[in-house]
Amino acid sequence: MSDIERLHSTERMSRIVKHQGVVYLCGQTAGDENWDIAEQTERCLEKIKGLLEEAGSGVDRMLSVTIYVRDMKDFAAMNEVWDNWFAELPKPARACVEARMARPPILVEMSVVAAENA
């Protein structure tokens, strides 16, 4: 039996993968491409929170986050939302890069690794 648990799997990927106390989330986008960078960032973080809770983790258990932004001109606005979210939380390791997105209206995508709750 595998010690790897995959949740919400499709023919291409799993939204959540759990292995040896670590939770991996696929890249999360906002869901509505009409929002600006601040709203897309907020919605990404909300989706991440829900998926982590479903996986037996939480935003306070995030180990690392890779953030992809379509244009670095949005970096400050994305960080403003991020800083508000994490004001009272432990800060995960983080990388942020500019990237061409799967669809042009996507302004931000986040990929997360977190520890399961003890």
pLDDT digits (tens, 9 = 90+) for 91-106: 999 999 999 999 999 9
The pair of structure tokens assigned to 63 is 């180990």
Region of residue 35 (left: phi > 0; alpha: psi -120 to 50; beta: else): beta
Q: Residue 78, SS3? A: helix
- Sequence-distant (≥ 6) Cβ neighbours of residue 28 within 8 angstroms: 44, 47, 48, 51, 109, 110, 111, 112
pTM of the model: 0.94
pLDDT digits (tens, 9 = 90+) for 56-95: 999 999 999 999 999 999 999 999 999 999 999 999 999 9
Q: How far apart are CA 78 and CA 72, in angstroms?
A: 10
**Cβ contact 37:77 at 8 Å:** yes
Parse the chain into domains and list their residue ranges: 4-115
4-115 has CATH 3.40.50.720 classification: no
